Amino acid sequence: MVTGFYLELGFNTVLFFNKASCVYIIMAAQEQKTVLIAISNPITSGRISTIMKEKGWICKKTSDGDETVDQYVKIKPEIVFIGLNLSTINGHVAALEIREIDPNARIIFVSSKTRLSKVQDAAYSAGAVGILTTPLTKSQLNEKWDKFFLEIPDAPGLADLDELYPEIIHKKEAEISPPPLPPLPPLSQNPPLPNIPLEKKGKRKWKRIIFTLITISSLTLIIFYTELIDLSNII
């Protein structure tokens, strides 16, 4: 009886630890967060990806502005690292569109020190939570890490998005809306006559001359033969 008790206790203990391991794995998977890295420079993009993977984050990378906005809607990342030099639309516009979609988006601009002034303006306009300069180091990111999760600033550039980039807005509207159909002709309108090529004036003139010469020749022959007939009768 005592042996059976310990066997049952050991069996239940094994089940408990197995379930506990499963729960730990599920919780670890649920706690894993996603970061979107939208940077055209592959070295900087790869460096950020390495640092974030060491922190246990899932990394998604892109270098296209339109794709950045699409990926944000698709994966809903907790943080976005973004640069200004992106294809299709630049990082400033992409960041504004993300903030328009999600006011709680946490955007971090990444730039070289030579373009820091321009990036600071874009970060203020889009309400970014921080700025990182290249060459990027792990210590630099860790120093600013806690600040990235403070209160998200407002994005004053959203108010002027249509005026600042009208060509981008109109281009997207043109891609969405189909082209208008051509107007139908009125029912009373007759169909156009077929375009029959006319003979050249010179050809018609030569035809008339040839016809006249043939006619004169024929009349001359008739008169000549008539006179011959009359002379034969006389003889």
Each domain of the chain, given as residue ranges in start order, spans 32-172, 201-235
Judged by average pLDDT, the poorest of 4-18, 43-57, 116-130, 212-226 is: 4-18
Cα–Cα dist 128/108, whole Å: 6
- Is the pLDDT at 21 greater than 80? The verdict is no
- Is the pLDDT at 13 greater than 60? The verdict is no
In percent, the amount of the chain with pLDDT more than 70 equals: 60
Q: How far is the CA of 217 from the CAs of 50, 87, 102, 214, 224, in angstroms?
A: 105, 85, 99, 5, 10
Q: Which of the two residues, 216 and 43, has the higher pLDDT score?
A: 43
Cα–Cα dist 34/52, whole Å: 9
Q: Are 107 and 95 in contact (CB under 8 A)?
A: yes
Sign of the C-alpha dihedral, residues 61, 80, 82, 42?
A: negative
- Is the pLDDT at 197 greater than 90? The verdict is no
Q: Helix axis angle, 116-126 relative to 91-101, nearest 10°?
A: 20
Reported CATH class of domain 32-172 = alpha beta
Cα–Cα dist 202/228, whole Å: 39
Its pTM stands at 0.61
Q: Which of the two residues, 94 and 24, has the higher pLDDT score?
A: 94
Would you state the structure tokens that stand for residue 112, as one six-digit string? Answer: 């070289």
- Is the pLDDT at 214 greater than 70? The verdict is yes
- Is the pLDDT at 95 greater than 90? The verdict is yes
